[in-house]
Amino acid sequence: MAILLFAEHDNQSLSDQTAKALSAASLIGGDIDILIAGKNAGSVADAAAKLSGVRNVILAEGDTLEHRLAEPTAALIVNLSGDYDTILAPATTTGKNVLPRVAALLDVMQVSDVIEVVSPDTFKRPIYAGNAIETVQTTDATRILTIRTTSFAAATGDNAPAPIKTIDAGSDGTGLSTFLENILSKNDRPELGSAKIIVSGGRALGSAERFQEVMTPVADKLGAAIGASRAAVDAGYASNDLQVGQTGKVVAPDLYIACGISGAIQHLAGMKDSKIIVAINTDEDAPIFQVADYGIVGDLFDILPELERQL
Amino acid sequence: MKVLVPVKRVVDYNVKIRVKADGTGVDLANVKMSMNPFDEIAVEEAVRLKEAGKANEVVAVSIGPAQAQETLRTALAMGADRAILITVDGPIEPLSVAKLLKGVVADENPNLVILGKQAIDDDANQTGQMLSALLGWSQATFASELDLGDTTAKVTREVDGGLQAIEVTLPAIVTADLRLNEPRYASLPNIMKAKKKPLETRTPDDFGVTVSPRLRVIRVEEPAGRTAGIKVAGVTDLIEKLKAEAGVI
Ligand SMILES: Cc1cc2nc3c(=O)[nH]c(=O)nc-3n(C[C@H](O)[C@H](O)[C@H](O)COP(=O)(O)OP(=O)(O)OC[C@H]3O[C@@H](n4cnc5c(N)ncnc54)[C@H](O)[C@@H]3O)c2cc1C
């Protein structure tokens, strides 16, 4: 039997989260097909075809798939499911939205946020904000998984292209919901998910203006992505897509600099697999120091400008 | 319009949990339990809909042990009108929960079900989507704004790239993200009043649902730990360490 990987993309480029989920699929073993559901997404299919170890790329295009609304996308995957014993996707907001719907339609219990493939039916996943790791074995005939991409290296993308098969978008599941608009944050910084360095700010930043003023120059110097704690996002200092944590993005860069972030377990859940953690905090007892490789006790409004000067 | 709000009793979000030494699970003895924070947000949203005259009844439902009655009383104190407890001992998977909720929906005929986007114990993030699939309804997950009309709802969703607005046809499933609202604290008079609100108890058998798990938990272990590093004197020292020792800049 075979594996179907539901790809993450924006109709123009393929997200590297797909290449990372592909590595997880390769560890499970079997023929791997990649599904591109979208509209005018030919270039995405071309990129997916060049990933290592892909048997076929399946391209389904149509208006209803342009934004990968849950209902038609899940219906499409269900219609393909007969040929696969494993269906997986990166644990992006799209993957999390669509795959449990597929799972219920197939009467399967999904395994969310896989961080390790132990065997083709046994996986490790974090629970309780990553404070425990559970090993689970599925007993369902079809295995449905979302993959935590920070735990897997990206498959290479310059191989001889696999065939691209075009299929009909179908009309199942359409008409239930309608896309209105995307209000996407625009910046030319590296993406949180793939950045080598992340500078992250917390409640201590105090305002959106100061967040910009103090964090941006340091991030620019380091070529870093910017992250934020929930408190900073709730207060409107940073946009929601920058939230790192249990219920935000999970990141694992080479260097994570936490500025004015206390280190609540929900925040640690999203960044404690970073290679090197630096903490800047006025409170020497802040829990963030318990996970930091290097800590500076002090005022971030002094330290960050100084850091920017010296870099 | 009737709104159904499923709520889960979970370990309080402030508790630092401990893994059992024998690797069979997490130690829940004498640990503070609370309503899943995302479900509190869901209850708050439903109660606000009622206060705004857009809903006329809010029904809270929980699936769990007898003590989940406390969780339901919290929902009632926040403003839910009545509650249903489906008693199940031990862990229960999202797929089974979704099947039970489908049964409740068949009995209650709500026009809207608002759930938390994930429970902070199993972190599965599945139940709302699964319920929506089983009912064949529309779904709007990770909601940060809900604008309810008579036949449709406009929902703003938190997605990886920012926000996405969609319109769903009612009846619909909405799952709450952190920024949908800030849940209220129940006042003392409302806590007292909640004790008198109706709370009905059911079993999975009433709905013809078997709740046996599909996933076999083989082991639960501590994550690889991190140890605290060192404090450095200042920026010069830090840059030097990041370059020479860590090699990350
Ligand atoms: C269901 C749920 C889900 C959650 N999900 C997430 C999540 O995904 N991500 C997340 O981050 N949080 C999440 N949280 C919130 C989390 O519990 C914390 O409330 C939050 O992380 C705190 O943010 P903070 O560290 O910025 O703020 P605080 O805890 O207020 O910390 C501010 C820190 O700044 C320090 N400070 C103050 N002034 C200065 C200064 N001038 N210079 C340097 N340091 C200074 C203080 O000493 C303090 O340590 C969640 C909570 C719940 C209940």
- At A69, which CATH number? 3.40.50.620
**pLDDT tens digits, one per residue of B14-38:** 999 999 999 999 999 999 999 999 9
Span A245-274, average pLDDT: 97
Residues A197 and A160 in one domain: no
Count how many domains chain A has: 2
Whole-angstrom distance between the N-terminal and C-terminal Cα of chain B? Answer: 58
Chain B contacts of A107, Cβ < 8 Å?
95
- Is A247 flagged in the annotation as binding? yes
pLDDT score recorded for residue A77: 98
pLDDT score recorded for residue B225: 87
Q: Which of A104, A246, A298 sits opposite B123 (nearest CB)?
A: A246
Residues A38 and A150 in one domain: yes
Residues A140 and A9 in one domain: yes
pLDDT score recorded for residue A6: 99
Span B155-172, average pLDDT: 98
Domain of A24?
2-167
- Is A203 flagged in the annotation as binding? yes
Cα torsion at A214, A218, A219, A222 (round to 10°)? 180
Q: What is the pTM of this model?
A: 0.98
Determine the distance separating the centroid of ligand 1 and the alpha carbon of B176, expressed in angstroms.
21
- At A274, which CATH number? 3.40.50.1220
Cβ distance B160 to A303 less than 8 Å, yes or no, reads: no
Residues A95 and A39 in one domain: yes
Test the B interface: residue of A69, A106, A114, A131 with most B CBs within 10 Å: A131
**pLDDT tens digits, one per residue of B81-116:** 999 999 999 899 999 999 999 999 999 999 999 999
Residues A7 and A129 in one domain: yes
Query: Exposure string (b/e) for A101-110, b if CB count within 10 Å is 16 or more?
Result: bbbbbbebbb
- Measure B196 CA to nearest chain A CA, in Å: 34
* Mean of all residue pLDDT scores within chain B: 97
Which of A103, A133, A167 is where one domain is finished? A167
Cβ atoms B72, B62 nearer than 8 A? yes
Q: Residue A234: CB within 6 Å of ligand 1?
A: no
Chain A contacts of B149, Cβ < 8 Å?
none
Whole-angstrom distance between the N-terminal and C-terminal Cα of chain A? Answer: 53
Q: In this structure, is residue A183 part of a structural domain?
A: no
- Is A230 flagged in the annotation as binding? yes
CA–CA separation, B4 and B137 (whole Å): 14
Chain centroid, CA B169 distance in Å: 23
Q: In this structure, is residue A177 part of a structural domain?
A: no
Q: In this structure, is residue A140 part of a structural domain?
A: yes
CA–CA separation, B27 and B16 (whole Å): 11
**pLDDT tens digits, one per residue of B190-238:** 999 999 999 999 999 999 999 999 999 999 999 998 999 999 999 999 9
CA–CA separation, A88 and A24 (whole Å): 9
* Mean of all residue pLDDT scores within chain A: 97
CA–CA separation, B49 and B146 (whole Å): 10
pLDDT score recorded for residue B221: 98
Q: Residue B12: CB within 6 Å of ligand 1?
A: no
**pLDDT tens digits, one per residue of A160-218:** 999 999 999 999 999 999 999 999 988 889 999 899 999 999 999 999 999 999 999 99
pLDDT score recorded for residue B200: 98
Determine the distance separating the centroid of ligand 1 and the alpha carbon of A200, expressed in angstroms.
11
* Reported ipTM: 0.97
pLDDT score recorded for residue B125: 98
Cβ atoms A125, B213 nearer than 8 A? no
| pLDDT beyond 90 at A155 | yes
Domain B2-246 belongs to what topology?
Rossmann fold (3.40.50)
Instruction: Tell me which residue of A117, A116, A122 sits closest to A139, measured CA to CA.
Output: A122
**pLDDT tens digits, one per residue of A61-102:** 999 999 999 999 999 999 999 999 999 999 999 999 999 999
